[in-house]
Amino acid sequence: MAAAPLRVLACGDVEGRLEAIFGRVRAIQAKSGRFDMLLCVGNFFGSTSEAEWAEYRTGAKKAPIPTYVLGANNPDTLSYFPDVSGCELAENITYLGRRGVYSGCSGLQIAYLSGTEAQQQPAPAHCFSTKDVAELKTSLLAIPNFRGVDILLTSPWPRDVGTFANSAGEIDTKKCGSKLVSDLAASLKPRYHFAALEKAYYERLPYRNHMVLQETPQHVTRFIALADVGNTSKKKYLYAFSIVPMSSMDPAELVKQPQDVTENPYRKLRKEAPKSKAPLSAEEEPACQFFFDLNKHQGRKRPSDGKERGDSQPKQAKKPPQPTGPCWFCLASPEVEKHLVVSIGTHCYLALAKGGLTPDHVLILPIGHYQSVVDLSSEVLEEVTKYKAALKEFFRSKGKRYVLFERNYRSQHLQLQVIPVPLDLCTSEDIKEAFITQAQEQQIELLEIPEHSDIAQVAQPGMPYFYVELDTGEKLFHRIRGRFPLQFGREVL
C-alpha cells in the first residue's frame, strides 16, 4: 500500500508579520483541509516583530499548524534564536537550527541551512561558512545508497540557478545568491528547494540530477523562491504542495522525468566536485554530532585508516569538541548568563535554570563543550557524580528529593536538569509512574534500566535519547528515533 502524501506549505520572508501568515494558513485550511506543516525560509522575524511575537511566545496565541523556521540572516534578529542547534521558540513554532537534517516519523527528510554566506572569517553567528556546508554534505553523503533529500531549505538563492532555465525576471541569478548553496543543492539533490530574501517569486523549471545516457536516471529538483509575506505587489509568498517521502516511493515513479525538465544548472559544480572533495580533519569531525538523520542512520563510519582501531589512548585524553557557533552554556562563552552560576568546579559548574520549574531548579553543566553524558571524559563524569551526590544531600536536608533528566535531542551542550520535589508530595514510585504514564499517552517507549548501570551501556555517542534519574539511582531511558516533544520532562514534572 502506497504511503499517503504529506500536505506541506512553504513560505517566504515573514518579517514578523505573524498574524498575516497564520491568518492566511487558517483561511487555506478552512477551504482546502488541514496541512501537515509550514516551512518558513528567509527572515522569519523583522525589526518590528516583538509585539506580535510576544503573544505567541507567551502562549496567548498559537500557530495553527506545526511551523519550522530557519535562523537569523542579520545581527538584529539573533536574539530570537537562543540555541544554535535548534529549539522550540513557542508552541507549534520550532527553530530547526544552524544546519542539519530534520526527519519526521513519516520518513520525510528535510535538510536545512540557516543564515547567509559569510564574507569574512570567522563567520558571524548569522552566517554559514564553507565548513558548515562541508559538514552537512558529509553527514548525508556518508549514508549508504544516499539518493538525495526530499526538501532543502535555505534563505539565500543558489547562485546560477537560472542557467538553462526560464527567466527569473529582474533577478540576475549569475550575481544573486550563494555559491555554497549551489554546491549544497548539487550534492544533496533535493526534490524541492525553497529560498527567499530577494522579495521575488520564481518557480524554476524542474532540472535533472543525472547526465543523460551517462548515468542512471534520478529524480528531478524543483527550485521555488518565495516573496515576502503581505508584499504590496501581490507576489506569491506561500506555496502548497503534496509529497510522498522518497523512502516510501516506488523507484520507477520517483525518477519519472517531466516534459519540461532542463539540464542541471550546477553541472559545472558537479564535474568539479570529485577534484575538490576532501575528508574532514580529525579536529573537525566531532562537529557532526550536532545533527542526526533521525530516520534510520545515526553517526558516521569511523575512518578506515586503522588509527582509531589501534588507539589505546584513555578517554580522558580527548579534548571536548568545539562548538560550531555561539554556545549559551560553554562557561568561557560571552553568551553565558554568569549571574545564574552557583558553583564552579574543575570540569563542571552548577547554575540556576533560567525559567526554572521551582526557585531551586538547577543545571549541572560541563565547563567544556560536550553534547551528552555519553560523550563525557572520565574525569568530567566523576565530577558530575560528585555534584549529584552533593545536591542529593542538600535537597534531602530541605525535605526534598531531586529528579534529574537529560534530553540529548535538538540540543548542543549537555544540560542535566535537576528539579527538587518535596518528599511529602510524592514518592519515587509516584514520579516514575507519572513519567511512564505520560510517555505511554504520547507513544514514547520509556524503559527502566538497572540502577547501577552506566548510561553509556545503553546509548552510543551521537544517539539521540531522553533519560530520567531519581536520587535513589533508579533510571528511565528512551531512545529517540523520530520526533520527540522538547518539553516532555518539564511537562511531566
pLDDT tens digits, 36-53? 999 999 999 997 778 899
How does the average pLDDT of the chain come out, rounded? 86
Span of 96-100, 113-117, 418-422, 452-456 with lowest mean pLDDT? 452-456
pLDDT tens digits, 152-173? 999 999 999 999 899 999 999 9
Q: State yes or no: pLDDT of 290 exceeds 50.
A: no
Q: State yes or no: pLDDT of 415 exceeds 80.
A: yes
* 289 pLDDT tier (thresholds 50, 70, 90): very low
Q: Could you give the CA distance from residue 201 to residue 231 in angstroms, rounded to a whole number?
A: 11
Mean predicted confidence (pLDDT) in 473-478: 90
Mean predicted confidence (pLDDT) in 299-306: 41
Closest CA to 388 of 488, 450, 473, 478: 473
pLDDT tens digits, 381-395? 999 999 999 999 999
pLDDT recorded at residue 273: 55
Q: State yes or no: pLDDT of 302 exceeds 60.
A: no
Task: Label the pairing between strands 192-195 and 151-154.
Answer: parallel
Q: State yes or no: pLDDT of 99 exceeds 60.
A: yes
Q: State yes or no: pLDDT of 229 exceeds 60.
A: yes
* 321 pLDDT tier (thresholds 50, 70, 90): low
Q: Could you give the CA distance from residue 224 to residue 154 in angstroms, rounded to a whole number?
A: 11
pLDDT recorded at residue 287: 34
pLDDT recorded at residue 283: 34
Mean predicted confidence (pLDDT) in 293-297: 38
Instruction: Say whether pTM exceeds 0.75.
Output: no
227-256 b/e (C-beta count within 10 Å ≥ 16 → b): bbbebeeeeebbbebebbbbbebeeeebbe
Closest CA to 37 of 60, 59, 67, 14: 67
Task: Work out the end-to-end distance of the chain between its first and last CA atoms, rounded to an integer number of angstroms.
Answer: 41
pLDDT recorded at residue 295: 40
CB 105 within 8 A of CB 3: no
For the chain, what percent of residues have pLDDT higher than 70?
87
DSSP three-state, residue 459: coil
DSSP 251: H
Dihedral angle computed from the Cα positions of residues 451, 454, 459 and 462, in that order, rounded to the nearest 10 degrees = 140
Task: Take residue 129 and report the three cell numbers written for it.
Answer: 561558512
What residues contact residue 212 under an 8 Å CB cut-off, 6+ apart?
Answer: none
